Structure 1
Amino acid sequence: MTFSVETPNTGPSRPKPVRPPRFASFRTIGALILREMNTSYGKSPLGYLWAILEPAGGIGIMVLVFSAAFRSPPLGQNFALFYATGFMPFTVFMGTAAKLGQSLNYSRPFLAYPRITFMDTILARFILNTLTQLLVGYIVLGAILLLFDTRTTLELPRIGLAYAMAAAFGFGVGTLNCFLFSISSVWQQVWSIVTRPLFIVSGLFFLYDAIPEPYRGFLWYNPLMHITGEMRSAFYSNYDADYVNPYYVFGLSLFLSALGILFLRRYHKWLVFN
């Protein structure tokens, strides 16, 4: 006598869902950072050295101009340190905003791949530019402190706060411009014109306290004045920048970032494929 065991008919087997690799976003951002490093600095004969020579050369020229026109800077006794403490955080904002503003246009071919998102391209450029600017600031400011007798007592937490405000504000403006640059090439020209006076009205050449009213009240709404004031208060112990409000800078940066991400999340596919 033979017995047969019938197996239940479960139907065709379903394919197992393909899971994306772990830490896919981190790997994507890392690959985009390496590509950005190669395209931005790898093709130049001097590479990263240009990122240091450009601000150092600008500071040197301005020191010569200040030395010929004035006996002493508005704060302290060293023109190079006074100008660098305003110029370095200013370049962090301008560089971050410019890089992030072109993120979508620069990485458009890669956004056709489903695993690469617009946030990957933005974060990759933000991380690389921030780290580069930190390195440049460390080298330039460190060289000034070594070459000149500045008699400065550094407050590292305040330096970090100034750089954090500059990077956050640059991220907010750059993220919103990433959307605006993609929908209108005219806005890029308008933005380049609008930002030119920032070099003058952001406290690079003067102190906020020296501006008379009512102009001083208007300048308070410029976030770059708060960033410059915080940076200078970190290098000059006798300078109390009581007008600085980090909550205002971070709050405005958060609002601009959320607005830019909201628009990009809604329209980035249309912007990429049209």
Structure 2
Amino acid sequence: MTLLARPTLWRTVGALMLREMSTTHGRVPGGYLWAVAEPLAGIALLSAIFAIGFHAPALGLSFPLFYATGLLPFLAFSDITGKLAQALNFSRPLFAYPAVGVFDAILARFLLAVLTQLAVASLLLGGILFLSETRATPDLAILAQAAGLLAVLSLGMGAMNCLLIGLAPLWQRIWSIAMRPMFLASGVFFTFEQVPLPWRDLLWWNPLIHVVGLVRRGLYPGYDAAYASPTYLMALGLGVALLAGIGLGRWHRDILSDL
């Protein structure tokens, strides 16, 4: 019987999601709504601050919209991979129960993080489009494609981080250091086409630049982001997820014994 066909899977995953929601924000007035409100307010504030200094975005008329289309994918990727990296540690006390498995914990954290980030992105982009003159034309099919590919990529990288941190805790610091320049290398403040050669060819291998390109393709009429490759994102995300799944299946007992 496959993992997804297990009769108790979704009941277990649902219970784990509810546990995390109550654990992280259950004692705060407003509850889990703060998981959406906090990043939403932070991104909105940063967008307003940067809009003061940058009046002419590379695309469209609104700098807050241009900035948000780059920042949202980066922050969503960072949040989801970070949550998955700590999935085993977060749910460790529950693995004593036969109904709770390693992949249940990863799937629960993944789904909750994805739904939270979708809520943040929808509210922020919807607010910018409603409150300001952007001349953007949202293409929901392309935006859904970008969100789906970002979720697959985040699942693969997050699961791999979970495995590597469990086997070598130093990896957490290495990953944290590596993610810092990614903020600048993911096209938050510029478009891929503005980068001169040969740096553009190197930048192409950054998967987040592809996601940002797809998001902007879905919002800005006439911007085709020809460089963005859904095939590359899908292959990378699924490939890394497969390797991580094999590794977790093989070494999860060793990892849990060391936590």
Shorter-chain TM range is: over 0.9
Q: Is the contact made by 2:51 and 2:64 (CA closer than 8 Å) also made in structure 1? A: no
> Which residue number corresponds to residue 136 of structure 1?
120
Match of 1:212 among 182, 196, 201: 196
> Which residue number corresponds to residue 242 of structure 2?
258
Match of 1:67 among 52, 59, 63: 52
Q: Where in structure 1 are there 5+ consecutive unaligned residues?
A: 1-21
In the alignment, the residues of structure 1 paired with residue 27 and residue 77 of structure 2 have an alpha-carbon distance, to the nearest angstrom, of: 24
> Which residue number corresponds to residue 198 of structure 1?
182
Q: Is the contact made by 1:67 and 1:79 (CA closer than 8 Å) also made in structure 2? A: no
Give TM-score scaled by structure 2 length. 0.93
Give, in angstroms, the shift of residue 44 of structure 1: 3.3
Instruction: Give the aligned CA root-mean-square deviation in angstroms.
Output: 1.5
> Aligned AA for 2:34?
L
> Which residue number corresponds to residue 97 of structure 2?
113
Match of 1:31 among 5, 15, 20: 15
Q: Is the contact made by 2:44 and 2:124 (CA closer than 8 Å) also made in structure 1? A: no
Q: Is the contact made by 1:89 and 1:162 (CA closer than 8 Å) also made in structure 2? A: no
> Which residue number corresponds to residue 54 of structure 1?
39
* Higher alpha-carbon Rg: 1
In the alignment, the residues of structure 2 paired with residue 266 and residue 28 of structure 1 have an alpha-carbon distance, to the nearest angstrom, of: 22
Q: Is the contact made by 2:43 and 2:68 (CA closer than 8 Å) also made in structure 1? A: no
Q: Following superposition of structure 1 onto structure 2, how do residues 132-171 of structure 1 map, counting pairs within 5 Å?
A: 132-171=116-155
Give TM-score scaled by structure 1 length. 0.88
In the alignment, the residues of structure 2 paired with residue 176 and residue 53 of structure 1 have an alpha-carbon distance, to the nearest angstrom, of: 27
Give, in angstroms, the shift of residue 54 of structure 1: 2.4
Q: Where in structure 2 are there 5+ consecutive unaligned residues?
A: 1-5
Residues paired across the two proteins, number = 252
Q: Is the contact made by 2:47 and 2:68 (CA closer than 8 Å) also made in structure 1? A: no
> Aligned AA for 1:75?
L
Q: Is the contact made by 1:105 and 1:182 (CA closer than 8 Å) also made in structure 2? A: no
In the alignment, the residues of structure 1 paired with residue 37 and residue 68 of structure 2 have an alpha-carbon distance, to the nearest angstrom, of: 13
> Aligned AA for 2:117?
Q
Give, in angstroms, the shift of residue 110 of structure 1: 1.1
Cα deviation 1:177-218 (Å, max 9, x = unaligned): 111111222111111111111111000110000000000000
Give, in angstroms, the shift of residue 46 of structure 1: 4.5
Cα deviation 1:124-149 (Å, max 9, x = unaligned): 00111111111111111111111101
Q: Runs of 4+ in structure 1 displaced over 4 angstroms? A: none
